[in-house]
Amino acid sequence: MSYTKRDDGRKFDELRKIKAKVGVVKRADGSAMFQMGDTIAIASVYGPRELHPRFLQNPERGVLRCNYDMASFSVTERKKPGPSRRSTEISLVTEKALASVIDLDLFPNTVIDVFIEIIQANAGTRCAGISAAAMALAHAGIPMRDMVAAVSVGKVGDKIVLDLDKEEEDFEEGATDIPVAMTARKREITLLQLDGEVTKDELMEAIKMARKGCEEIYKIQVKTLKEIYKNG
């Protein structure tokens, strides 16, 4: 089925409006808010700190531990609070999306905890969470080899589109959702999931579009992080 126009008037390769801020959770060692359209993620980082229980410690390197949670009030139909299969999966892929840019060898026996809370959800929450977490890690002063930005791309009807909203994810003919995370300088893909169907050519087009989106997000992440130094 042909998809001719996005409901919110965006071009097919256009991101939703982004807002970002660091230092939103004072008690944390680093924190950030990242909003794409109506999806809002807050990430807070604690550590590196000694890992308990001690048998989980690795004397060679630190452990990155991510915890993704969607608040019960974040969606129209109240979500049952607490962990679920979905949140466990997202926590795990978030960890994998971020771990490769952190120099964990510098922090033996410790853990770096990243808590991601989705306070408002309108699709793309795992990507907003990853973009927020990468900013929070940088804000916490964790040495990072690269920055990570994430965005969802996919196929709605017959079109490849960037940054799907919930309406597009629920498109009547079915949509394909492809969350992508990418490192900024090396342009390495650290997350790629695919829910639906696409041809190989469509997937390549989608990844190209995601790369462009991630580059835009990266610029916002850096600009936001630099602002704290400007403002003291």
The binding site for ligand UDP (CB under 6 A) comprises 75, 79, 86, 121-126, 152, 166, 169, 177, 179
- Please say which residue, 117 or 169, places its beta carbon nearer to ligand UDP: 169
Provide the minimum distance between the beta carbon of 115 and ligand UDP in the complex, in angstroms, as a whole number.
17
Residue closer to ligand UDP, measured from CB, 50 or 170: 170
Residue 179, C-beta contacts closer than 8 angstroms, at least 6 positions apart:
124, 126, 127, 150, 151, 152, 191, 192, 193
Measured from the CB atom, the residue of 143 and 196 that comes closer to ligand UDP is 196
Given the complex with ligand UDP, which of 113 and 177 has the nearer CB atom?
A: 177
CB of 110 to ligand UDP, least distance (A): 29
Q: Residue 61 CB, nearest distance to ligand UDP (Å)?
A: 28
Between 167 and 222, name the residue whose CB sits nearer to ligand UDP.
167
Within 8 A by CB and 6+ apart from 26, the residues are none
Between CA 70 and CA 90 the distance in angstroms is: 11
Cβ proximity to ligand UDP: between 10 and 79 the closer is: 79
Residue 230 Cβ vs ligand UDP, minimum distance, rounded to whole Å? 32
Query: Is residue 174 within a helix (H) or strand (E), and if so which, with residue range?
Result: none
Q: DSSP 3-state assignment of 170?
A: coil
Please report how close the Cβ of residue 164 comes to ligand UDP at its closest, in angstroms.
8
Amino acid letter at 90?
Answer: I
The neighbour count for residue 107, using CB atoms within 10 Å, is 21
Q: Strand, coil or helix: what is 122?
A: coil
The CB-of-122 to ligand UDP minimum distance in angstroms stands at: 5
3-state secondary structure of 124: coil
Question: Helix (H, G, I), strand (E, B), or coil: what is residue 134?
Answer: helix
- Residue 208 β-bridge partners: none
The answer to whether the Cα torsion of 91, 210, 133, 32 is positive or negative is negative
Question: Whose CB is nearest to ligand UDP?
Answer: 125
Q: Report the SS3 class of residue 74.
A: helix
DSSP state of 193: -
